Amino acid sequence: MLLLAGTTISVFGQEVKEKTESEGKFDASTFILDHIADSHEWHILTKKNGDNVEIYLPVILYSKEKGLDIFSSKKLADGNEYKGYKIEEEGDLQGKIVSVNKEGTVDEKNLPLDLSMTKAVIGMLSAAIIGLLLFLSLSRSYRKSGISHPKGIQSFLEPVILFVRDDIAIPNLGHKYEKYMPYLLTAFFFILINNLMGLIPFPPPFGANVTGNIAVTFVMATCTFLITQFSGNKTYWKHIFAAPGVPFWLLPIMIPVEIIGLFSKPFALMIRLFANITAGHIIVLSLICLIFIFNSLSIAPVSILFVIFMDFLELLVAFLQAYIFTLLSALFISMAVQENH
C-alpha cells in the first residue's frame, strides 16, 4: 500500500514537475482531467526538454469517404495530421479525432467513427486477460484436485466466489440463482480487477481509468438491463403495465413512471460505478497536485499521508463497488424473476 502511494506520488509528481517547468504554470484541473479522461496514447513520463515518453496505441477509424484506417497514434502525436485525420486540441471536440478538409479546416459535422484501442480499452483488455489467466488456472486446479479441500490459488479465490454465491446470488435469487451465477461472477471480478488495476499507477497496463469510464459502466449496466428484461416473467410485466391494486385511471401515470423506473435502475448502476471510481482518482490526483499548487516541498508529507489514506479507502471502494454493482444486478434480476409478492 505504501508502495502504491509512493509510486503514485513519484510518477505523477515527476510528470507534473516536468510539465510545470516546461510550460511555466500549473493547471491542476487540466492535469487531473487529462489523467481521468481516455486518450489515444499512454503517457509514461515527460522529459526535462518537454518531450513525452509515451506508448502509442493503435488508432482505428472508419468514415464513409475514406473507409477503414488503422495506424499508430504516433502519426497523430503533437497535433500532426495523418491521412486527413488529426486529434483536436481545443474546443468542444478536444481529444477526439476529427477529419480535416483539403483546405486544412476541421470538418466538425462529419466525424469519423473512432474504434481506436484507447488507454481504457487496453487497460480493460489487460484486466480481462489477467482475469482469464487467473480463473482458467483456477478451474484447472479444480479439475485436477476434484472435490478435495481448496489449496493454493483456490483458497484465495474460492471464498470470494462463495461470497458472491452465498451473499449476493442466493439471498436475492433463491433457487434460480444458478442461471445467473456466471454473469454475476464475471461482473464482480471484471469490476474488481479493473478497479484494483486502476489503483496501481504504474507501469502500463496498470493505472488506466477503466471503471471510471462512462462507456464501460454503460456497457455493464446495459448487460444487467438486458438480462433483467429478458428474464422478466409475467408477474414482472404485469406490475409494469397493470400494477395490481392501482385504479385504472392512474395507469396513464403509473405506466410511464414504471417505464422510467426500468431505465433509471441501470442508469443508477452506470453512474454509481463511474462516479465512485472517478471521484477516488480525482481526490488522489488533487492531493498530489496540492504539492504543486503550493509549490512547496513542506506540504508533501501531508499530501503523502492523505494519499496513503485515500489509497486505503479506494481499496475498500474497489471491493465495495464491485459488490454493490453485483448485488444490485442480482436484486434487479430477482425483481424480474420472482413468482409473486
Instruction: List residues binding another protein (CB under 8 A).
Output: 29-30, 33, 36-38, 60, 91-92, 94-96, 113-118, 120-121, 124-125, 128, 131-132, 135-136, 138-139, 142-143, 146-147, 158, 161-162, 165, 178, 181-183, 185-186, 190, 213-216, 218-220, 223, 274, 278
Q: How far is the CB of 213 from another protein (least distance, A)?
A: 6
**Cβ density class 69-101: b for 16+ within 10 Å, e for less:** eebebbebeeeeebebbbbbeeeeeeeebbbbe
Nearer to another protein, 92 or 103 (CB): 92
Q: What does the alpha-carbon distance between residue 160 and residue 326 come to, in Å, rounded to a whole number?
A: 13
Q: How far is the CB of 214 from another protein (least distance, A)?
A: 5
Nearer to another protein, 14 or 30 (CB): 30
Task: Please identify which residue in the block is written with the cell numbers 505523477.
Answer: 12
Sign of the torsion formed by the C-alpha atoms of 147, 151, 152 and 158: positive
Nearer to another protein, 14 or 222 (CB): 222
Q: How far is the CB of 276 from another protein (least distance, A)?
A: 14
SS3 68: strand
Nearer to another protein, 122 or 310 (CB): 122
Q: How far is the CB of 110 from another protein (least distance, A)?
A: 15
| Half-sphere exposure at residue 62, Cβ-oriented, CA atoms within 13 angstroms | 3
Q: How far is the CB of 274 from another protein (least distance, A)?
A: 8
Q: How far is the CB of 131 from another protein (least distance, A)?
A: 6
Nearer to another protein, 84 or 150 (CB): 150
**Cβ density class 8-44: b for 16+ within 10 Å, e for less:** bbebbbebbebbbeeeeebeeeebbeebbbbbbbbbe
Using CA atoms, how far residue 132 sits from 97, 127, 145, 325, in Å, is 32, 8, 20, 20
Question: Reading across the β-sheet that carries 58-63, which strands appear in turn?
Answer: 67-72, 58-63, 113-114
Nearer to another protein, 215 or 240 (CB): 215
